[in-house]
């Protein structure tokens, strides 16, 4: 196992702005039935805009999730996607819905799955940048990859670098970092990689300079709590 390529405690701490969402997520995963888990989180994952849950619920109930979870992530997500296409639930090649079902089936209220982590455009772009999938002259993507093989590579990288067996905290960190770098642009185009490099470098330098001159990195907590 190698170290994660970002400061997990720092970025995961930012997820507290989604504390209500996280409570809803944990409570839903306490349900033993996959259909009920999915029902409670369908709108939470923003899937209700494209798929009515009443249409997919019977299909979820029939999925042999144990068989899928024994497969490699790339094979599992492709098989679940194919099944949803056969049932006319989805018509495209997107992976967010099938990957979410795999995540729900593999996770629990105490811990998310390190094998099938949350997958969306934010964590995908975090992966794209941190693992150098895109070069300096490229930009981030508008959406998560629709390639089962690339999804499998993301899952492998996640599992190989997941710190202290805490996948939920890790995926929260990637989610927040991915959202941050996607917003580093003033137009509607995906963020250039060179812009991310520059901004992160400037921030690292500013934090180090502040620490040297003022004795703290971002906020003088000692002063704040004693006022």
> pLDDT tens digit string along 194-225?
999 999 999 999 989 888 888 888 888 887 87
pTM of the model: 0.93
Q: Is residue 200 part of a domain?
A: no
pLDDT at 212: 84
Tokens of 46: 């923003």
Q: How many structural domains are present in the chain?
A: 1
Q: Does the residue 217 lie in any domain?
A: no
Domain limits for position 35: 8-191
Percent of residues, the chain, with pLDDT higher than 70? 100
Query: Is 198 among the domain residues?
Result: no
Q: Using alpha carbons, list the distances in angstroms from residue 35 to 56, 60, 176.
A: 9, 6, 28
Split at pLDDT 50, 70, 90, the class of 14 is: very high
* Cα–Cα nearest to 127, from 148, 144, 105, 103: 144
Task: Give the Cα separation of 121 and 128 in Å (integer).
Answer: 10
- Is there a domain that residue 56 lies in? yes
The tokens describing 34, both together, are 């996959």
State the pLDDT confidence band at 82, using cuts at 50, 70 and 90: very high
Percent of the chain with pLDDT over 90: 80
- Residue 115 within a domain: yes
207 lies in some domain? no
Please indicate, yes or no, if residue 3 is contained in any of the structural domains: no
Residue 163 domain-assigned?
yes
**How many other CB atoms sit within 10 Å of the CB of residue 2?**
8
Q: Is the pLDDT of residue 227 over 80?
A: no
First to last CA, the chain: 44
Q: Which residue has the higher pLDDT, 165 or 175?
A: 175
């Amino acid at each position: 196992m190698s170290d994660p390529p970002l400061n997990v405690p720092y970025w995961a701490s930012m997820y507290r702005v989604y504390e209500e969402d996280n409570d809803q997520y944990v409570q839903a995963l306490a349900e033993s039935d996959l259909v009920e888990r999915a029902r409670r989180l369908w709108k939470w994952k923003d899937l209700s805009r494209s798929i009515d849950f009443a249409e997919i619920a019977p299909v979820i109930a029939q999925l042999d999730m144990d068989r899928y979870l024994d497969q490699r992530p790339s094979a599992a997500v492709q098989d679940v996607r194919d099944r949803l296409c056969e049932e006319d639930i989805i018509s495209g090649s997107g992976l967010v819905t099938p990957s979410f079902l795999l995540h729900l089936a593999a996770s629990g209220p105490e811990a998310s799955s390190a094998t099938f982590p949350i997958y969306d455009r934010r964590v995908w772009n975090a992966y794209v940048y941190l693992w150098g999938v895109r070069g300096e002259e490229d930009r981030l993507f508008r959406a998560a990859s629709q390639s089962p093989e690339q999804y499998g590579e993301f899952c492998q990288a996640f599992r190989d670098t997941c710190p202290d067996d805490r996948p939920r905290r890790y995926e929260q960190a990637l989610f927040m970092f991915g959202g941050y770098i996607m917003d580093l642009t003033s137009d509607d185009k995906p963020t250039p990689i060179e812009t991310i490099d520059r901004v992160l470098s400037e921030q690292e330098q500013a934090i180090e300079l502040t620490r040297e001159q003022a004795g703290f990195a971002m906020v003088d907590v000692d002063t704040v709590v004693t006022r």
